């Protein structure tokens, strides 16, 4: 038995069919992170784009956002609570 992968179909699934579920998950993460008391005067936003797959980024914009994320892990905690595994590069 030979197995042949249809890479065009797999690419379509990753680019198109997964766009809404990925966006929806990012909205939930952004909403949860945005309710934190540490987000004073800042904003949690999302941005959709496509590479070889559907991508949505969740961003915390505030002058000291990196320090707040390092100390409190707002986005990390929100993502893990939604079932995502967060790894550092």
Region 44-60: mean pLDDT is 92
Region 28-45: mean pLDDT is 81
CA distances from 67 to 22, 50, 54, 64, 71 (A): 27, 29, 29, 5, 6
In a domain, residue 1? The reply is no
Total tally of structural domains belonging to the chain:
1
The pTM for the full model equals: 0.80
Asked whether the beta carbons of 75 and 81 are under 8 A apart, the reply is: no
Domain span including residue 54: 7-81
Burial class (CB in 10 A: 0-12, 13-18, 19+), 75: buried
Residue-level pLDDT at 37? 63
- Confidence grade of residue 63 (pLDDT, cut at 50, 70, 90): confident
């Amino acid at each position: 038995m030979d197995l042949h992968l249809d890479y065009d179909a797999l690419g379509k699934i990753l680019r198109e069919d997964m766009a809404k579920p990925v966006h929806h998950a990012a909205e939930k993460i952004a909403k949860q992170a945005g309710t934190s008391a540490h987000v004073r005067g800042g904003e949690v936003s999302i941005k959709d784009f496509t590479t070889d797959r559907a991508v949505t980024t969740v961003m915390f914009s505030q002058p000291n956002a990196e320090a707040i994320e390092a100390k409190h892990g707002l986005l990390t905690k929100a993502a893990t609570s939604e079932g995502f595994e967060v790894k550092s590069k």
